Homo-oligomer: A and B are copies of this chain.
């Protein structure tokens, strides 16, 4: 996903988030396993569409190409604006609803790259959607690991 790279997010960064939260649930889980799961998630059309849309909105807000009052809402990542969570849910759901809990936890704890994106909100930069998209991908990749792992142990 070129778009993610251009916005400063490597798939390895997302895999590291997955590893941090899933390590305790899977014996011998490696960063490589997590990266493979992240790649499977971002290969899904539904995920790509949500991701492209969220990043396009961040970029439009950076360029000032969004009418008010939405521009101000996006630039300050207004706590009552929930469209970013709605888009993230479309990502999280590709491996079923069990990803939702992970999403909420990651979005709140801002682990790894998610926190970096959040704190990186310098003047002129907008990551209102990107941090939620990344949390959504990490949550979906975690759900995918859970589905695969439990299939094997039964």
Please provide the chain A residues from 96 to 128 with a CB less than 8 Å away from any CB of chain B in the complex: 96-98, 100-109
User: Which residue on B lies nearest to A97, using beta carbons?
Assistant: B82
The minimal Cβ–Cβ distance linking A55 to chain B, given in whole angstroms, is 8
The minimal Cβ–Cβ distance linking A132 to chain B, given in whole angstroms, is 9
What number of copies of this chain does the assembly contain?
Answer: 4
Q: Is A31 interfacial (CB 8 A cutoff)?
A: no
With a cutoff of 8 Å between Cβ atoms, the chain B residues found around residue A29 in the complex are none
C-alpha spacing A46/B95, complex, angstroms: 8
With a cutoff of 8 Å between Cβ atoms, the chain B residues found around residue A82 in the complex are 46, 49, 90, 96-98, 100
Asked, given contacts A60-B60, A80-B146, whether A100 binds B90 with beta carbons under 8 Å apart, the answer is no
C-alpha spacing A90/B94, complex, angstroms: 11
Q: Bits for A112-154, please: 1 = Cβ < 8 Å to B, else 0.
A: 0000000000000000000000000000000000110010000
With a cutoff of 8 Å between Cβ atoms, the chain B residues found around residue A40 in the complex are none
A52 contacts which of B49, B70, B101, B107 (Cβ < 8 Å)?
B70
Q: Is A56 touching B67 in the complex (CB atoms < 8 A)? A: yes
A50 contacts which of B46, B50, B79, B83 (Cβ < 8 Å)?
B83
Interface of A is mostly: helix
With a cutoff of 8 Å between Cβ atoms, the chain B residues found around residue A60 in the complex are 56, 60, 65-66
C-alpha spacing A96/B56, complex, angstroms: 20
C-alpha spacing A68/B52, complex, angstroms: 9
C-alpha spacing A90/B93, complex, angstroms: 9
Q: Is A34 interfacial (CB 8 A cutoff)?
A: no
